[in-house]
């Protein structure tokens, strides 16, 4: 099953550190989106990329950044981690019909 893959699945970081999360979309999909899901809430939009260009940004501080590579994989970077950044980070691979296919997510814990 060549679905959306995210790495790592879990990680623990200390406040103030930096983290990089990775996502490989479904083959043929040129767009990815990132979402943050805090416990007990629905996913919240962070970024959308299409053909390496940022197409949308949610209401997140500049500590959050992302990029998309020529092979359409993507990275989400978070600097100066805060305790409140602890969440499940979801990557979605978007097809031509704007249907989103989600990865399993990366569980980030900031201590």
Partner 1 sequence: AQRVTQPEKLLSVFKGAPVELKCNYSYSGSPELFWYVQYSRQRLQLLLRHISRESIKGFTADLNKGETSFHLKKPFAQEEDSAMYYCALSGPRGSGTSYGKLTFGQGTILTVHP
Q: Between 4 and 19, name the residue whose CB sits nearer to partner 1.
A: 4
Least distance to partner 1 from the beta carbon of 45, Å? 5
Q: Region of 43 please: left (phi>0), alpha (psi -120 to 50) or beta.
A: beta
Least distance to partner 1 from the beta carbon of 56, Å? 4
Provide the Cα torsion 33, 36, 37, 42; round to 10°. Answer: -60
Chain contacts with partner 1 (rule: CB under 8 A): 3-4, 31, 33, 35, 40-45, 48, 55-56, 58, 90, 92, 94, 98-105
Q: Between 81 and 106, name the residue whose CB sits nearer to partner 1.
A: 106
> Which DSSP string corresponds to 4-53?
-EEE-SEEEE-TT--EEEEEE--TT--EEEEEEE-TTS--EEEEEEETTE
Least distance to partner 1 from the beta carbon of 75, Å? 19
Least distance to partner 1 from the beta carbon of 109, Å? 19
Scanning the structure block, which residue is given the tokens 């814990």?
109
Q: Between 25 and 81, name the residue whose CB sits nearer to partner 1.
A: 25
């Amino acid at each position: 099953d060549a679905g959306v893959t995210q790495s790592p699945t879990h990680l623990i970081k200390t406040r103030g550190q930096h983290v990089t999360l990775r996502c490989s979309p479904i083959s043929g999909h040129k767009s990815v989106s990132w979402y943050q899901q805090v416990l007990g809430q629905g996913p919240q939009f962070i970024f959308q990329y299409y053909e390496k260009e940022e197409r949308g940004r949610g209401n997140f501080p500049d500590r959050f950044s992302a990029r998309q590579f020529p092979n359409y994989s993507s990275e989400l970077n978070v600097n100066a981690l805060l305790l409140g950044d602890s969440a499940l980070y979801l990557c979605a691979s978007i097809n031509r019909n704007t249907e989103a296919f989600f990865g399993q997510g990366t569980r980030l814990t900031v201590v």
